[in-house]
A and B are shown apart, each in its own frame.
Chain A
Amino acid sequence: MKKLGLFLIVMTILASGCGKKQQDPRIKVQEGVASDTFGSNIVTKPVIHAFSALVGDRIEVTQAVTRRNNAGITELQVEFRNKSFNTERFQYKVEWVDADGFVIDSKTSVWLPASVPGKSNGTIIAAAPSAKAVDFRMNTRNQE
C-alpha cells in the first residue's frame, strides 16, 4: 500500500514536471491557468510550498539599470523576482546621490509600496529629482 502511494507521488511529479519546454521567461502564466508544476500540483503543492517557506524564499533583485532621458534626468529600473509562492508586498525608497556623493534632498525619496505575485517577476521604475543625480541608493522594508 505504501509502495502504491509512493508510486503515485513519483508518477505525479514526473507527469507534472518533466518533458516541458522552457517557456518564454518574459511571460508568466500563473497557477490555475498554466499546466501543473511541482509547485501547483495538488499532490506536491503542500510539500513544495512548505519547503519554500522553510528556506525563506522571498524577493531577489535580478538587475538594476539606469539611463539618462532627453532632459538629462537619470531613470532607474530595478527588476526583481519573487521566489516564494505567495504575493510579496513591501516598500522601497530610492535616494539619489550627486557627483560629490551627497544625497539629494527630495520629496520623491519616500517609502513607496510595491508588490509582486508568487513566482513572478516585478519591476520598479524611478526617476532622479534632478540632472545632478549620478547614482542611487535603494532601501526596502516589510509592508506594515
Chain B
Amino acid sequence: MKTKLFSIILFAGLLIAGCGEPATTNIDTTNDSAGAVMSLDYRDFDQAASKMVQSLLGSGRLGKSDGSRYVLATGRILNNTTQRIDTDQLMLKVRREITNSGQGVFSAVVGPGSDKTLLETRELRESDEFDTSTTAEKRTLIAPELTIQGKIHQVIVPLARNRQQVEYYFQLELSEVKTGLTYWQEEVLVGKRGSDKSVPW
C-alpha cells in the first residue's frame, strides 16, 4: 500500500515538474551568461562590432587635424556564410559608434542602403506645389571622403568524432575616395567547435 502511494506521489510529482513546456524568459542582453551556439548570435555581432570600432578609433585614422569630421559612405558588406544574415546587424553598430564618436558622419544618399526618400524629397524643388525656400537647392549634397566595406566569411572544418569547427571572419576596410588608398582594415575571428549535427545556419 505504502509502495503504491509512494509511486503515485512520485509519478504526480514528475508530471508536474517535468512535463510542462520550458518557460519563456527574456534574454538579459547586458549580462547574458548562456552557453555559446554554433551559429552567429547577437553576442558574436556585438563582440565583432566592438572590436572593429575600438580598432578603428584606437588607430587614430578618423582624426582630422582641424577637428572636423569625415564624411563616410557604407559600401557592400558581403555575406559569405551559410546563414541568412542581415549585414546591418554588424554595420548599424559600427555606423552608430563612428557617428557617436564625433569623428565621422555617414552619407545617406550613397551606397547600397541609401535613403531613397531623401533623393525623392530633393526632387520637390521642381514642383510648383512647394515653397521653394523649404526645398533643397542643387549641389548642396556633400560627397563622401571615405568608404567602408567588408565581408563576413565562414569556414567549416570537420573534426574527428562527429565534431566540427566553424570559423567566422568579420572583415572591414576603410578607404579614401580621393586617393583610393586603404587607410585601415581589421579582421575579427569568432571560432566555434561543437557537434556536426548543429548545422550553422
Q: Which residues of A contact B (CB under 8 A)?
A: 69-73, 75, 106-113, 125-132, 141, 144
A126-B63 contact, Cβ under 8 Å, with A131-B101, A131-B102, A144-B33:
no
- Given contact pairs A107-B49, A110-B46, a sample of 6 additional A-B residue pairs in the complex whose CB atoms are under 8 Å apart: A69-B59, A70-B60, A71-B60, A73-B63, A107-B53, A128-B57
Query: SS class of chain A's interface: helix, strand, loop or mixed?
Result: loop
- Give the Cβ gap from A52 to chain B, nearest Cβ, in Å: 27
Q: Which residues of A contact B50 (CB under 8 A)?
A: 107-110, 112
Is the pair B47, A110 in contact by a Cβ cutoff of 8 Å?
Answer: yes
- Contact present for B46 and A129 (CB under 8 Å): no
- Residue of B whose beta carbon sits closest to that of A69: B60
Tell me, yes or no, whether B196 is within 8 Å of chain A by CB.
no
Say yes or no for B122: interface residue by CB 8 A criterion: no
Question: Which listed residue (A107, A129, A141, A144) contacts B35, Cβ 8 A?
Answer: A144
Main SS of chain B's interface residues? helix
Given A75-B58, A129-B57; A106-B47 close (CB under 8 Å)? no
Question: How far, in Å, is B43 (CB) from chain A's closest CB?
Answer: 8
A113: nearest chain-B partner, CB-CB: B47
Kindly state the separation between the CA atoms of A132 and B103 in the bound complex, as whole angstroms. Answer: 12
Q: Report the minimal beta-carbon distance from B103 to chain A, rounded to whole angstroms.
A: 6
Q: Give the distance in Å from the alpha carbon of A85 to the alpha carbon of B62 in the complex.
A: 42
Residue of A nearest to B92 (CB): A107
B23 to chain A, nearest CB (A): 20
Contacts of A144 in B (CB 8 A): 33-35
Residue on B nearest A94 in the bound complex, by CB: B54
Verify if B127 is at the interface (C-beta below 8 Å from A).
no
Chain B residues 84 to 108 lying within 8 A of chain A, measured CB to CB, are: 93, 96-97, 100-103
A107-B97 contact, Cβ under 8 Å, with A72-B63, A130-B102? yes
Q: List B122-158 residues whose CB lies under 8 Å from chain A.
A: none
Q: Is there contact, CB below 8 Å, between A73 and B47?
A: no
Listed A/B pairs (11) with beta-carbon separation below 8 Å = A71-B61, A107-B93, A108-B97, A110-B50, A112-B50, A127-B53, A130-B101, A131-B103, A141-B33, A144-B33, A144-B34
Q: Are B58 and A112 in contact (CB under 8 A)?
A: no
Chain A positions within 8 Å of B46 at CB level:
107, 110
B163 within 8 A of A: no
Q: How many angstroms from the CA of A71 to the CA of B58 in the assembled complex?
A: 8
A73-B101 in contact given A108-B54, A128-B57 (Cβ < 8 Å): yes
